[in-house]
Chains A and B, each alone.
Chain A
Amino acid sequence: QKEVEQNSGPLSVPEGAIASLNCTYSDRGSQSFFWYRQYSGKSPELIMSIYSNGDKEDGRFTAQLNKASQYVSLLIRDSQPSDSATYLCAAGGGKLQFGAGTQVVVTP
């Protein structure tokens, strides 16, 4: 059974601080990893994809992948109230496997 695990939260983050989200996966064959943001009642929106070990930066978002540890993370710098959402980690390489999602709440 392929599994992707995330802390469900809520993760409370002061405005302007760094939010750190973590994700682990069980299938060593997974080759691609995605972070989706989902606002309440809306559909998932792709914010980052990462395929190689190391860091990938896009604006205020940085994804980190460590295949040896089977670990993916997402950092959100200078967190804004608009970042309050559920963040879904997903592993590719066949059917997309989603984690349960981490709820992030950015407090003013």
Chain B
Amino acid sequence: DTEVTQTPKHLVMGMTNKKSLKCEQHMGHRAMYWYKQKAKKPPELMFVYSYEKLSINESVPSRFSPECPNSSLLNLHLHALQPEDSALYLCASSQVDALASTDTQYFGPGTRLTVL
């Protein structure tokens, strides 16, 4: 089973709203990732959690706040977003370690975010 789930599938929010994206995996993976993908571009890494600790923050603006409550769950809290933050937000997980040379990342279905 290589399933990563994400909710919601679609989200529309205003610039003053606070919302959260959720990601869950039950594969026993210990590394989880948030990516942002704009149209016709590859996924762009935002955050990496390894063993429930934040290991990589790719200089993401503070209006994005990640949280890893346990090894199966990953949240992305959104506040005061801008229209240019509209994108497909992807969660991924991998088995062992975010920087392991052969670790395979499996992606969830994504959340399509629109900021008005």
Contact = CB atoms under 8 A, between A and B. Distances in A.
Given A94-B101, A95-B99, A98-B43, A42 B109 contact: yes
Interface in A47-68: 49, 51
Interface residues of B, number: 23
A92 B110 contact: no
Identify whether the interface residues of B are mostly helix, strand, loop, or mixed: loop
A32 B102 contact: yes
Interface in A16-59: 31-32, 34, 36, 41-46, 49, 51
Nearest to A34: B104
B105 A100 contact: no
Interface residues of A, number: 22
A96 B45 contact: yes
Contacts of B90: 43-44
Contacts of B45: 95-96
Contacts of B108: 43
A81 interface: no
A42 B110 contact: yes
B51 interface: no
A93 B24 CA distance: 25
A43 B42 contact: no
12 contacts: A31-B102, A32-B102, A41-B112, A43-B108, A43-B109, A51-B102, A88-B43, A92-B102, A94-B99, A95-B99, A96-B105, A100-B42
